Chain A
Amino acid sequence: MKPPAFDYIAATSVEDAVAALARSEGEGKLIAGGQSLMPMLNFRLAGPAVLIDVGRIAGLDGIEETDEGLTVGALARHAALETSPGVAKHLPVLAEAMRHVAHLAIRNRGTIGGSLSHADPAAELPLMAVLLDAVLHITGPEESREVPAEEFFIGALTTDLEDEEMVTAVTFPYLPAGCGWGFEEVSRRSGDFALAAAAATLSFEGSVISEARLAVTGVDDLPLRISEAEEGLMGGELTEEKISAAAESVQASVNPNSDAQASADYRRHLIGVLTARVLRAAAARATGGGL
């Protein structure tokens, strides 16, 4: 239960970090909070030749309100999002989701960039990024680029990141005025990974749904938006029939695993129940409409 030996570099800037990654020729790994990587090192599931510590790079932990949305630096901690007034004001669904991330000591140390890059298929932050149409800011040795969250996540622990790139920030567009939201998760114990989790946002014009977003996690290799269910919700009131149809659509779209925690059938059952709950919660919170 001790990490294997590795070379260690404390990067002083993003440029420094990606240059070190490029020099490591695929054998390097970034570490920040280390809350996913350290257990893998302790178990020796990971054995990088060189560990590049980005945790001391200055100015990467901000939470800024910009015209495009809330831009969160890669080194911001989960606990900072959980308690940020800007998050509470513009993205309350994100604050709620953060309360479900592991435990206090993990949230105090785990970083936003780390969670997104790790891409655990049951983690809350990737779900939020996909739900909220977040954009990831990525820097490599040659250039910087921006990638929508839905394109960033490719599979379990697999992202669009190249070996020599790092996530530097993520921008969450603000929820539209009057938009309602819901987040629901079931785990075996408080702080455990989600057996299944769902999140939704609904906007209404009068009693008519004008925008619907629905995303789920823990029930496939990556967090998924369920566009078929979203389309079915649009253009009328939120009825029990629509809720049932959305839940069935979600259950048909996902491909859950069986493991020691729960069977695939149970996860599929759960995600249908949670889908109905988040839609009802979103409608109840929305202004100008709802059940």
Chain B
Amino acid sequence: MSGKHRLQLRVNGVAHDREVEPRLLLSDFLRDELDLTGTHVGCEHGVCGACTVLLNGDSVRSCLCLAIQAEGSEVTTVEGLGSVDQLNSLQEKFREHHALQCGFCTPGMLMTATDLLSKNKQMSDEELREGLSGNLCRCTGYEHIVSAVRAAFADKGGDGS
């Protein structure tokens, strides 16, 4: 039973059917088995938020989830948002507001912000900061990230203030 288990799931709309060891982390499955290296691995114990992905629409730490636990699920990674040539609207806001420097935390920030945007009509700055507080950034001081997500909220109709 510590042998491989069958894992069927969808990632960014694409169905996958693999055999995995039960101890394989979802983050490592995405990066090593599917070559979706946009999901970054920072602390591997649930503190930094860099590996955040959407699991059935909810933001989760992919380092705190076994790949096998995603059986039958829909996973969305940063590769599911936009492409280098065609950024999605949130990614555009990150660029406009200079919300990244080294970029290591950016995929996790984008996935967390995607969750917030999908579940809230608008958010106060305090709520926004609390919502993003599980994602660490060592470059920006967060101001520009908050500005970018605030702008994304403003675009969808709420005033974001």
* A residues adjacent to B (C-beta < 8 A): 1-10, 31, 34-35, 38-39, 41-43, 50-51, 53, 55-56, 79, 99, 102-106, 108-109, 189-191
Would you call B134 an interface residue if the criterion is a C-beta within 8 Å of the partner chain's C-beta atoms?
yes
CB-defined contacts of B22 to chain A, threshold 8 Å: 6-8, 51
Contact B23 A39 (CB under 8 A): no
Contact A5 B21 (CB under 8 A): yes
Would you call B107 an interface residue if the criterion is a C-beta within 8 Å of the partner chain's C-beta atoms?
no
Contact A5 B23 (CB under 8 A): yes
Q: Residue of B at shortest CB range from A43?
A: B45
Q: How many residues of B contact A (CB 8 A)?
A: 34
20 residue pairs from A and B, CB less than 8 Å apart:
A2-B23, A2-B25, A3-B25, A7-B22, A8-B2, A31-B66, A35-B61, A39-B45, A42-B44, A99-B130, A103-B49, A104-B131, A104-B134, A105-B49, A105-B52, A105-B112, A106-B61, A109-B60, A109-B65, A191-B134
Contact A109 B58 (CB under 8 A): yes
CB-defined contacts of B11 to chain A, threshold 8 Å: none
* B residues adjacent to A (C-beta < 8 A): 1-2, 5, 21-23, 25, 28, 44-46, 49, 52, 55, 58-61, 63-66, 68-69, 71, 112, 115-116, 129-131, 133-135
Known: A4-B23, A5-B23, A189-B133. A34 touches B45 (CB 8 A): no
In the assembled complex, the CB of B160 is this many whole angstroms from the nearest CB of chain A, namely: 17
Main secondary structure of the interface of B (DSSP, over half): mixed
* Contact of A7 (CB < 8 Å), options: B2, B28, B55: B2
CB-defined contacts of A105 to chain B, threshold 8 Å: 49, 52, 58-61, 112, 115, 134
CB-defined contacts of A102 to chain B, threshold 8 Å: 134
Contact B58 A190 (CB under 8 A): no
